[in-house]
Amino acid sequence: MLDAPLSFWLDQTINGVVIGNIYALIAIGLALIFGVANLVNFAHGSVFMIGAYAGWVCITRLHWPLPAAMLTAATLSAIVGVLIERIGLRGLYDKARIAPLLATIGISFTLDQIVQLIFTATPQGFPAPLPEQRIPLGTVSIGLLDVLIAAITVGAALALFGFLRFTRLGWALRAAAQDREAAQQMGVDTDRANMLAFAVASALGGVAGVLVGMYFNSVYTSMSFQATIKGFVANLLGGLGSVSGAILGGILLGLIESYGVALFGASYRNLFSYAMLVLVLVFLPQGLFGARRALPPEPLTGTFVPSGGRVRLPRAMMALTIGAALVPLLSDNPYLLQTLSSAFLFALLALSVTLVTGMAGQTSLGQAGFMAIGGYASALLVMRVGVPFELALLLAALSAALVGSLLMTPVFRLRSQYMAIATLGVGEIVNQVILNWDAVTGGALGLSRIPPPTFLGAPIIAPRDVYWATLVLLVAGGLLAWRMAEAHLGRTWRAIRDDEVAARAFGVNLARYKWLAFLASGFIAGLSGAFTAHTYSYINHETFAVNTSILALTMVILGGMGNLAGAVLGALALTAAPELLRAVADYRYLLYGLVLVLLIRFRPQGLLGTL
């Protein structure tokens, strides 16, 4: 590869710059919003995706000319952006920073599902309405679309600079970004500044969506999440909240990806962005281009721990467990039993989140990564090494605990929303490594024909047996979590969650207890992942994805932070209930998104309260 002709590298450079321009457009929007509203907008990718679909409808269905399609996409996206700010976020600005982050994640789920309901999940072809002509430049050539993309990015950036520098509104925006309170005293309407930032940012996002659709000749709903991540990494590289940094960061990310893919192969593309996400957040939080702006300090108190409403129900838990154990004797409906079995495995995951997030206060969006380690470890131990399932399950959970918590150690020093994003990155890095470690994991092909779980050698296949096995696992995980919660360990974790500074003043070594929380949490999540792998019989690098982590966190917030019974209740409410109410099953992610948004807004202490 390294001895490829110069023209090959020039081509890669052009590709990188073009893609980088698109990343820059997305990143500029995120930077504007971060600057003015001080929040990472995870719904930005959804706005971008909506823009892409709007452009696609205008061009392929309505046969409008490109400029009209662009304008429509920008307008529609701007409207959506303003609605997000007005309806979803306005009430959250005075809350801990993790609250609006989670709200935007919920909004993103909701928007993605709505678009999917309208247009289905199948990617739609998007032929660029441009001549296929390429402009020769010495040994290489540039497509018209490449030129258009570069022109639009540069044009948008210049227009934005002009707007920010020379107009009164732009001045208000910059004032609000610099110091909200001072701006308010000078008569700047900061609510309007926020709205304006969302409008401009979202319009740019929508345009980027159309460009990406044309560049890759397709639009699909899941493009939204990747766009958010790429935009955020670009923004991070350039220094969070810096518009000019966002442009440089975008192009840099585009180049790194382009060269990386040329050297290692296309499957490495996302690994680079996730690795950079974690590394830059942890080691270079002010970005690559100087120390203009460090991560804004989080308040010393005020993790996301709403107080109150605690309900304790150990007796009820015992009765419920016995009741649950009897279910298969009353009904042998396999559909019911399967639904409940998978709900139990989810509840186990929710328990793991309760330990690390609910109790220790370390918001983790990387739990699916622990599951993936557990799932792959167990499947490989059984299939390649011939270890019996019962032992493999235990070893897999231990590997998830050890490897997972080790991978998480760099993020211990981050707080609040940055921790959440970095853990998300770690979880995805696990999946990207699985994707690219062909020799061990089977790469993109995944692992198929994983043997079913066994008990004392007898396979667990009948729905009734699977049901009991998952219930036993859940009860075991619950008891384990409860032992820790009731010991001094649970107290120490909750103290860290409530106030890290005060905890340190009493001799609590934060890193030690965060590690223990991730270790315990990784063990339980690993159990869930391992059992899941053997019941699915097929897994790949997408089986345990970010959505799973987000769903698990939603369950924990629904049940009440640090509340073990609440986590189980939340899991059952969000997985079994919609499944059993058939009508809702198709709208599941819509439901998840709405539940998350409404909880954060109206009942952050969840159903059973914070413990």
Partner 1 sequence: MSVAESTLLEAHALHREFGGVVAVRDVSFAVRRGEVVSIIGPNGAGKTTLFNLLTGLDRPDAGRIWFCGHEITALSPERRAALGMARTFQHGRAFGNLTVLENVLLGAHLRQALTAPDSTPLSALRELGAAILKPPAYADEQRRLRHRAFALLQRFGERLTPRAHQPAYTLSYANRRRTEMARALALQPTLLLLDEPTAGMNPTETAEVLDFLKTLKAEGLTLLLIEHKLGLVMELSDRVIVMDNGVVIAEGAPESVRRDPRVVEAYLGHTHWGTPSSESLP
Distance CA 117, CA 448 (A): 31
Instruction: Please name the amino acid found at residue 220.
Output: Y
Residue 288 or 510: the one with the smaller Cβ distance to partner 1 is: 510
Span of 45-53, 81-89, 105-113, 509-517 interacting with partner 1 by CB under 8 A: 509-517
Q: Among residues 87, 196, 75, 124, which one has the least CA distance to residue 593?
A: 87
Select from 68, 487, 577, 581 the one that contacts partner 1 (CB under 8 A). Answer: 487
Distance CA 352, CA 521 (A): 4
Residue 192 or 512: the one with the smaller Cβ distance to partner 1 is: 512
The reply on whether position 397 binds partner 1 by CB under 8 A is no
The reply on whether position 498 binds partner 1 by CB under 8 A is yes
Distance CA 111, CA 594 (A): 10
Residue 428 or 500: the one with the smaller Cβ distance to partner 1 is: 500
Query: What is the full DSSP assignment across 76-117?
Result: HHHHHHHHIIIIIIGGGTTS-THHHHHHHHHHHHHHHHHHHH
List binders of partner 1 among 522-581 (CB under 8 A).
562
The reply on whether position 472 binds partner 1 by CB under 8 A is no
Shortest distance, CB of residue 509 to partner 1, whole angstroms?
A: 5
Shortest distance, CB of residue 318 to partner 1, whole angstroms?
A: 20
In angstroms, the Cα distances linking 590 to 103, 262, 369, 424, 427 are: 13, 38, 24, 21, 23
153: tokens are 């990015």
Shortest distance, CB of residue 398 to partner 1, whole angstroms?
A: 12
Span of 177-185, 381-389, 433-441, 498-506 interacting with partner 1 by CB under 8 A: 498-506
Q: How many CB atoms lie within 10 A of CB 181?
A: 9
Select from 86, 165, 384, 504 the one that contacts partner 1 (CB under 8 A). Answer: 504
Distance CA 373, CA 249 (A): 32
Number of residues that make up the chain: 611
The reply on whether position 165 binds partner 1 by CB under 8 A is no
Shortest distance, CB of residue 294 to partner 1, whole angstroms?
A: 13
Helix/strand/coil (H/E/C) assignment for every residue in 544-597? CCHHHHHHHHHHHHHHCCCCHHHHHHHHHHHHHHHHHCHHHHCCHHHHHHHHHH
Shortest distance, CB of residue 301 to partner 1, whole angstroms?
A: 7
Residue 265 or 296: the one with the smaller Cβ distance to partner 1 is: 296
Span of 68-76, 126-134, 217-225, 495-503 interacting with partner 1 by CB under 8 A: 495-503
Select from 68, 502, 577, 598 the one that contacts partner 1 (CB under 8 A). Answer: 502
The reply on whether position 505 binds partner 1 by CB under 8 A is yes
The reply on whether position 181 binds partner 1 by CB under 8 A is no
The reply on whether position 178 binds partner 1 by CB under 8 A is no
Select from 508, 545, 573, 580 the one that contacts partner 1 (CB under 8 A). Answer: 508
Residue 207 or 567: the one with the smaller Cβ distance to partner 1 is: 567
Burial level of 279, CB count in 10 A (0-12/13-18/19+)? middle
Q: Which residues contact 599 (CB under 8 A, 6 or more apart)?
A: 554, 557, 558, 606
Select from 131, 136, 187, 507 the one that contacts partner 1 (CB under 8 A). Answer: 507
The reply on whether position 488 binds partner 1 by CB under 8 A is yes
List binders of partner 1 among 62-121 (CB under 8 A).
none
Which DSSP state fits 525? H
Residues in the interface with partner 1 (CB under 8 A) total 37
List binders of partner 1 among 592-611 (CB under 8 A).
610-611
Residue 466 or 608: the one with the smaller Cβ distance to partner 1 is: 608
The reply on whether position 348 binds partner 1 by CB under 8 A is no
Q: How many CB atoms lie within 10 A of CB 319?
A: 11
Select from 506, 582, 583, 602 the one that contacts partner 1 (CB under 8 A). Answer: 506
Query: What is the distance of C-alpha 64 from the center of its chain?
Result: 35
Q: Among residues 353, 417, 317, which one has the least CA distance to residue 98?
A: 417
The reply on whether position 491 binds partner 1 by CB under 8 A is yes
The reply on whether position 284 binds partner 1 by CB under 8 A is no
Helix (H, G, I), strand (E, B) or coil at 219: strand
Helix (H, G, I), strand (E, B) or coil at 539: strand
Give the side-chain half-sphere CA count within 13 A for 496. Answer: 31
List binders of partner 1 among 285-304 (CB under 8 A).
300-301
Which residues would be at the binding site for partner 1 (CB under 8 A)?
300-301, 305, 307-308, 310, 480, 483-484, 487-489, 491-492, 494-495, 497-499, 501-509, 511-512, 515-516, 519-520, 562, 610-611
